[in-house]
Amino acid sequence: MRQLGFELFMQQQIETLRSEFAQDIAKVAATHDIEALKVKYLGKKGPLQNLMKFLKEVPAEQRPAAGKWINDLKEEISARLEASETTLRATEESAKLSAEKIDITLPGRNRFPGRKHIITQTLDEMIDIFASMGFSVQVGPDIDTDYYNFEALNFAPDHPARDMQDTFYVAKDVLLRTHTSNIQVRVMEMQKPPIRIIAPGHAYRNETITARSHVFFNQIEGLYIDKGVTFADLFATMDEFLSKLFKRQVETRFRPSYFPFVEPGMEVDLRCLTCGGSGCNLCKQTGWLEIMGAGMVHPEVLKNGGIDPEIYSGYAWGMGVERVILLRNGVKDIRTFTDNDMRFLEQFPGV
C-alpha cells in the first residue's frame, strides 16, 4: 500500500505539472515568454527540481522508475520549449525585417562633397595655363636652409629680407621659406637646360596681418633657362599667361625694379580691370594694377645652380595667388581665405 501510495502520488504530481505546463505553453506569444517558462519549469527552484528532492523519500526499488518519469517530463518540457522558441524566433525575425523595409520612394539625403578652396582653384587654373605652354610643376620644402632661400639666390648676407623681423627662423640658418624660389635653386642643381618649370607653394613672412598682407600666403613662380632666352620671351609669355588668366586681351606695362636674384628686374602692371585706365578705387587712381615681379636670372644665381651664364640665359617671375583672387573675384580682405567661413567659401563653387 505504501509503495502504491508513492507511485500514485508521483504520477499525480507529474500529470498536474504536465497539464499546468500545457496551459502555460498554449498562452506563449513571444520568445521572452519562453524564457519565463524555462525559468519557471527548468530552473533550480522549479517543480521538477522539487520532485527530484522528493525522490529520496521513494523506496529504493521504485526510485529508478520514478526518476525516469521526472526525467521524461523534464525532457518533454524542454523539447517543447525549444520547438516553440525556434518557431517564434523565426516569426519575430521576419516581422522585424519587414518593419525595416527600405522605402525607396523617399527622397535622398543631401550629401556635401566639399569643393576646392578658391586658392586651389586659382592655382590649378594657373598651372593649367603654364602646362599648356610646356612648363612642368616642381615642388620643394616649406622649411629650408638659409642657403636655398637666400644665399644661392644672391641675397647679400646683410640683406634686410634676412632680418628676424621679416623671416621666421626655426633655428640658425633654418627658416620657413619666404618665397618658393628655393625650388628653382634645386631644379637648377639637378637639371640641365633647357629648364621650363613653375614652382607653386606656400610662403611665409613675419609681417603684421592686415587686409592686404599675411604671414602665410601662396606663391607661384616660374623659370625658363635655355640658350638665347631674352626679355622678349618673358614679355610674350607673361602677356599670353595674363590674357588667359583674366580671360581677355590684357594690356601690360613693364617697370624697372629690383630683386636680388634677377638683373635686370622689373614689375609687371596690368591695365586696370575695373576702370580700363581712367582711374578708380581698385587701381588707386593710377589706371594700373601691380600683378607680378620678373626679370632675367642673375648670372650669380645661374652659377650657384651649376649653369654657365656665358652659355645660357633665363628669365624668372613670381606672383601671389591671393592677389590674383583679390583682383579677379573682388575679395577685399585676404584674412577671409583662412577664416573657414562657409558663407565666404560657398561663393566659389568651382567645377
Place of cell 527530484: 52
3-class DSSP assignment, residue 79: helix
- Report in angstroms the alpha-carbon separations of 95 from 23, 25, 89: 26, 21, 10
**Position 238 contacts ligand 2NM (CB under 6 A):** no
Give the nearest distance from C-beta 347 to ligand 2NM in angstroms: 28
138 binds ligand 2NM (CB under 6 A): no
Under the criterion CB under 6 A, does residue 261 sit at the interface with ligand 2NM?
yes
Q: Which x/- pattern, by CB under 6 A, does the window 93-132 give for ligand 2NM?
A: ----------------------------------------
Chosen residue from 21, 150, 317, 337 binding ligand 2NM by CB under 6 A: 317
User: Helix, strand, or coil here: 68?
Assistant: helix
Q: Which stretch binds ligand 2NM (CB under 6 A): 91-99, 126-134, 143-151, 295-303?
A: 295-303
The span from the CA of 271 to the CA of 16, in Å, is 107
Residues in the chain: 351
Distance between CA atoms of residues 149 and 332, nearest Å: 30
- Give min distance, CB of 156 to ligand 2NM, in A: 15
Using the minimum distance from each CB to ligand 2NM, give the nearer residue, 28 or 197.
197
| CB neighbourhood size of 293 (10 A) | 21
User: In which residue are the cell numbers 582653384 written?
Assistant: 121
| Residue 223 touching ligand 2NM (CB under 6 A) | yes
Residues pairing with 171 in the sheet = 174
Q: Does 318 sit near ligand 2NM (CB under 6 A)?
A: yes
Site for ligand 2NM, residues 152 to 211, rule: CB under 6 A: 153, 181, 184
Helix H segments across 27-62? 31-37, 47-54
Residues that bind ligand 2NM (CB under 6 A): 153, 181, 184, 221, 223, 259, 261-262, 265, 293-295, 297, 301, 316-318
